[in-house]
């Protein structure tokens, strides 16, 4: 059993993570999962959660938290008229299908496998944002269906495996086709809603009956953590939205790239 001191530090660290995650949800349209997952992984270790389920529990709990934070962030961005509503309508089915596919994979993949997936994608996206050039574009218009639907499915799949809101991948997709990074950030908040809701139920199903889970967990979702984090992220997310619209394109790209590489480094370290 964890000591009272461990529980106090757990609550303090969760509060800090919630504040940062909420801010990043608004700033980058990422739902906050990219920071919550590595933080949860360490904090669940403090509570002596079985390593076999630690990463799965971190991803599932992150997706549960992304549901309200993504909705909050999406509503804030939509008021500013920055969201690509047409793209979201096209992805109403493909993105959730990708998340459901991720839940099926998560039911059998190892903890180390999930961490490796998270780190690998984070490195690719981080490098792309850091060294991005204006001519790094595949085209000037987003591809039509069926390519667009396939990309939506893939974003749902990878985001579901990483426990993130999809902004990491959607930002890259939209900017590769010449869309402004601010529009990518805003639209990503809506993609996060399409990912988090089916992801929540998928990880509950994937972890149903699993051993080694902490108290008040339903599948791979821990409701104690969810209840502590959500109020904080809900309050802080609009502050990130305000900053996102105050910064220029290159500042957003550099900040996003550094953030993703730092997260990837931490997960690679955890594999050894």
* CA atoms of 215 and 226, how far apart (whole Å): 13
**Structure-token pair, residue 210:** 């699993």
Distances (CA, A) of 26 to 121, 139, 206, 224, 255: 21, 27, 29, 24, 13
Query: What backbone phi and psi angles, to 5 degrees, belong to 222?
Result: -100, 115
Q: Helices 147-162 & 111-130, crossing angle to 10 degrees?
A: 120
Q: How far apart are CA 73 and CA 38, in angstroms?
A: 21
Burial class (CB in 10 A: 0-12, 13-18, 19+), 239: middle
* pLDDT, mean of residues 170-179: 84
- What is the distance between the alpha carbons of residues 208 and 218, in angstroms, rounded to a whole number? 7
Percentage of the chain lying above the pLDDT 70 cut: 88
> In the prediction, which pLDDT does 109 show?
83
Model confidence at 84: pLDDT above 80: yes
> 181: pLDDT confidence band, cut at 50, 70 and 90?
confident
* More confident site: 33 or 199: 199
Average pLDDT of the residues in 108-128:
83
What is the rounded CA–CA span in Å between residue 261 and residue 50?
27
pTM of the model: 0.79
The dihedral region occupied by 140, where left means phi > 0, alpha psi between -120 and 50, and beta the remainder, is: alpha
pLDDT per residue as tens digits for the range 18-77? 777 667 666 665 656 777 787 788 788 877 888 889 989 998 998 998 888 788 778 877
Cα-based angle 139, 145, 146 (whole degrees, multiple of 5):
110
């Amino acid at each position: 059993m964890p000591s009272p001191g461990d529980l106090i530090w757990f609550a303090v660290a969760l509060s800090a993570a919630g504040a940062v995650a909420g801010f990043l949800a608004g700033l980058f349209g990422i739902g906050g999962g990219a920071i919550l997952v590595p933080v949860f992984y360490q904090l669940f270790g403090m509570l002596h959660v079985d390593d076999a389920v630690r990463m799965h529990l971190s991803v599932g709990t992150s997706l549960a938290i992304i549901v309200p934070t993504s909705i909050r962030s999406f509503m804030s961005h939509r008021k500013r008229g920055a969201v690509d509503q047409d793209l979201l309508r096209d992805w109403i089915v493909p993105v959730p299908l990708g998340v459901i596919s991720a839940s099926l994979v998560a039911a059998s993949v190892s903890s180390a496998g999930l961490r490796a997936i998270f780190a690998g994608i984070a490195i690719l996206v981080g490098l792309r944002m850091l060294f991005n050039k204006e001519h790094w574009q595949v085209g000037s218009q987003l591809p039509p269906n069926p390519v667009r639907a396939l990309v939506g499915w893939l974003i749902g799949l990878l985001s579901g495996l990483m426990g993130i809101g999809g902004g990491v991948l959607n930002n890259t997709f939209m900017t590769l086709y010449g869309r402004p990074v601010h529009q990518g950030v805003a639209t990503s908040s809506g993609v996060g809603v399409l990912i988090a809701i089916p992801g929540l139920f998928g990880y509950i199903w994937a972890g149903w009956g699993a051993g080694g889970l902490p108290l008040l967990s339903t599948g791979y979702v821990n409701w104690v953590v969810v209840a502590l984090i959500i109020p904080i992220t809900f309050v802080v997310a609009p502050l990130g939205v305000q900053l996102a619209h105050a910064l220029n394109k290159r500042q957003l790209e550099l900040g996003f790239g550094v953030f993703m590489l730092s997260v990837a480094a931490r997960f690679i370290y955890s594999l050894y």
